[in-house]
Amino acid sequence: MKVGDLMPLISAFTFNISSILNVGRTIIDLILVWYVIYLLISMMKQNMRTMQLFKGVLLILILKMFTSLLRLSAMDYLVDTILTWGVVAIIIVFQPEIRGLLEKIGRTKLELKHDNLSDDEKERLMDELVGAITKLSEDQTGALITFERRQSLIDYINTGTKINADIKAELFTTIFWEGTPLHDGATIIKGDRVVCAAAFYPPTNQELSPLYGARHRAALGISEITDSLTVVVSEETGTISFATDGKLRKIPRKELRASLVNELDWFNTQEKDGE
């Protein structure tokens, strides 16, 4: 067989390899795009501010399509200007959310210290927490306790006083006693450790009843930009409230333990890992 006779076969083989590579690139490209979209949707579901941002961007894009179709030059120029400078504004205003998204992209699984604890130890920690919060509520001692979940709270931990202590009921009642310099901010729990006290959060911009003070505004603020759980004890009434996903809800004392177990999900970790 001559070399010239083999050329069509070589060309066909090269074409097939090229086609397979192009299909592979397209599949990888689509997978990456859908993964990024999934991360964006996941972040927005956990954050009211990013959901509002998404609605605003969607509205501007629809407006851009409208002005382009109708050839409204002045309005089209204004929308283009908003889009150009809006990217810079988004990066500045939503810097914590963007950092959280980048952390999530680079993290396959967040290992929490309480995952390695026995059920008896988890029960003991829960007893300490319930006892401390109940005591603070009965004494009408204002308190702000935040539990880190999937999203890192390192930026807010750095605003407070580092502690790195065991979870003990006496520790919380001491921290939030009005005579201590640490009582005015939030105490943050990471895994099975109290990592800091006197941390400060950006307050919410929601309109709240005058019955809610600075602690409630701070609790809502941190819940709007992270997936954390924050427990608030009112100084005026002793009422216990949970702040999650930009919402505040009151928790009766008799339901405190069950509500904490449900929110923290400590006792379901092994079940989920086995699914």
Nearest 5 degrees, angle CA 179-CA 243-CA 159?
A: 50
Q: Where are the domains of the chain?
A: 6-106, 119-267
Beta bridge partners of 222: none
Position of tokens 């397209």? 26
For residue 124, the model assigns a pLDDT of 92
pTM (predicted TM-score): 0.63
Q: State the architecture of 119-267 in CATH terms.
A: 3-Layer(aba) Sandwich (3.40)
Closest CA to 149 of 271, 52, 260, 36: 260
Closest CA to 182 of 199, 168, 159: 199
- Cα 253 from Cα 135, distance rounded (Å): 10
**Which string of DSSP letters, residue by residue, matches 228-267?**
-EEEEE-TTT--EEEEETTEEEE--GGGHHHHHHHHH-GG
**Which string of DSSP letters, residue by residue, matches 180-219?**
STTTTSEEEEETTEEEEEEE--PPP-S---TT--HHHHHH
- Cα 156 from Cα 256, distance rounded (Å): 25
For residue 47, the model assigns a pLDDT of 53
For residue 56, the model assigns a pLDDT of 75
Encoded tokens for 207: 């309109």
Question: Would you give per-residue pLDDT tens digits along the chain (275 residues)?
Answer: 544 555 565 565 565 677 777 778 888 888 888 877 776 666 555 555 566 666 777 787 788 788 888 878 888 788 788 777 777 776 676 666 566 556 555 544 444 455 567 888 889 999 999 999 999 999 999 999 999 988 888 889 999 999 999 999 999 999 999 888 898 899 999 988 999 999 999 999 888 888 888 999 999 999 988 889 999 999 999 999 999 988 999 999 999 999 999 998 776 644 444 44
For residue 71, the model assigns a pLDDT of 79
For residue 131, the model assigns a pLDDT of 96
For residue 207, the model assigns a pLDDT of 86
Encoded tokens for 7: 């050329």
Q: E-assigned strands of the chain?
A: 143-147, 161-166, 186-190, 193-199, 229-233, 240-244, 247-250
- Cα 66 from Cα 162, distance rounded (Å): 53
For residue 225, the model assigns a pLDDT of 84
CB 43 within 8 A of CB 101: yes
For residue 200, the model assigns a pLDDT of 94
Question: Residue 272 in 3-state DSSP?
Answer: helix
Distance of CA 44 to the CA centre of its chain: 9
